[in-house]
Amino acid sequence: MIDEDFLTGKILLIDKPLDWTSFDAVNKIRYAIKKHLTVKKIKVGHAGTLDPKATGLLIICTGKKTKDIEQLMGLEKEYTGTIKLGANTPSYDLETEEKEQFSTEHVTEKMLQEVAQSFIGVQQQIPPLFSAKKIDGVRAYEFARKGEDIELKSNTIEIKEFEITSVNGNFIDFRIVCSKGTYIRSIAHDFGKKLNSGGYLTALRRTKIGNFSVENAQSIEQFISSL
């Protein structure tokens, strides 16, 4: 690995671990590069946030390649994950505990397939309250964690593919291809709502961003050891 590449600009494919924020990953990599190059400053940024409870592909740009971040953020994304039916959580994932319980006895596999297909296309989506969306300069999750009632504006998104890959009781595995700005947690919540069964995200992995695949990504430890 040529040291100067980091300064002129590199695109790094990182497999983000569970419970790390995207900024945790960026900071760890920035620190490692600075230490390796013995420099005080270097530009490092990511091209699209992944929630702490999600794993998978995080594109990290260094040096002059940080100018490409906006373009990379616009690429379509592919995710795999699991929705649990029968309950809701305030954060729409495992960050918060189950708050409401629902019956799932009426749910059939045919209903699951039909509801998944109903998401295909361009639509308006309201982000989760537990999100990094800003309201008057304050992150929405800061209001949500205080129990304050807030209203978020909807965003235009597009779901291109939504495939149910397996069903194990109340746990529904899926694969989804979507536009930038799509909150999969909101998809999970709305999926449960359409089924009248509740639903929240229990696992999420980003597998692709455009033509970039997590199969070609390194763990943070692998990247650091390669320096």
Instruction: Give yes or no: residues 85 and 171 share one domain.
Output: yes
**What pLDDT, on a 0 to 100 scale, did the predictor assign at position 67?**
96
pTM: 0.92
pLDDT tens sequence across 87-144: 999 999 999 999 999 999 999 999 999 999 999 999 999 888 877 677 767 776 676 6
Number of neighbours of residue 46 by Cβ within 10 angstroms: 23
Neighbours of 205 (CB within 10 A): 19
* Distances 217 to 16, 34, 125 between C-alpha atoms, Å: 9, 21, 30
- Which one is catalytic: 51, 93, 149, 190? 51
Q: Are residues 60 and 99 in the same domain?
A: no
- Residue 144's pLDDT is 66
Going by DSSP bridges, is the β-strand pair 212-213/199-209 parallel, antiparallel, or unpaired? antiparallel
**Are 70 and 49 found together in one domain?**
yes
- The CATH number of the domain where 96 resides is what? 3.30.2350.10
What is the pLDDT averaged over residues 140-158? Answer: 79
**For every residue of 35-55, which 3-state class applies, written as one string?**
HHHCCCCCCEEECCCCCCCCE
pLDDT at 3: 64
- Structural domain including 49 reads 4-74+213-226
Over 60: is that where the pLDDT of 2 sits? no
Q: For residue 142, give the amino acid letter.
A: E
**Can you spell out the DSSP letters for 159-171?**
EEEEEEEEEETTE
Residues 134 and 194 in one domain: yes
Mean pLDDT of the chain: 93
Q: Give ∠ CA 114-89-137 in degrees, rounded to 5.
A: 105
**Residues 67, 119: one domain?**
no
pLDDT in tens, 32-85: 999 999 999 999 999 999 989 999 999 999 999 999 999 999 999 999 999 999
Looking at the DSSP bridge assignments, the partners of residue 101 are 87
Examine the domain organization and report whether 104 and 27 are in the same domain: no
Angle at 152 between CA 130 and CA 87, to 5 degrees: 45
Whether residue 1 has pLDDT greater than 60: no
Same domain, 109 and 196: yes
103 and 18, same domain (yes or no): no
Residue-level pLDDT at 208: 98
List all residues 6 or more positions away from 156 whose beta carbon is below 8 Å from its beta carbon. Answer: 122, 123, 124, 125, 181
Instruction: Say whether 51 is catalytic.
Output: yes
Residues 68, 83 within the same domain: no
Domain count for the chain: 2
* Whether 89 and 51 share a structural domain: no
- List Cα–Cα distances, 98 to 36, 72, 154, 181, 206, in angstroms: 44, 35, 25, 25, 24
85 and 23 belong to one structural domain? no
Alpha-carbon gap, residue 188 to 172, rounded angstroms: 10
Share of the chain above pLDDT 70, in %: 96
Do 205 and 103 share a structural domain?
A: yes
In the chain, the percentage of residues whose pLDDT exceeds 90 is: 82
Q: Give residue 142's Cα distance to chain centre.
A: 19
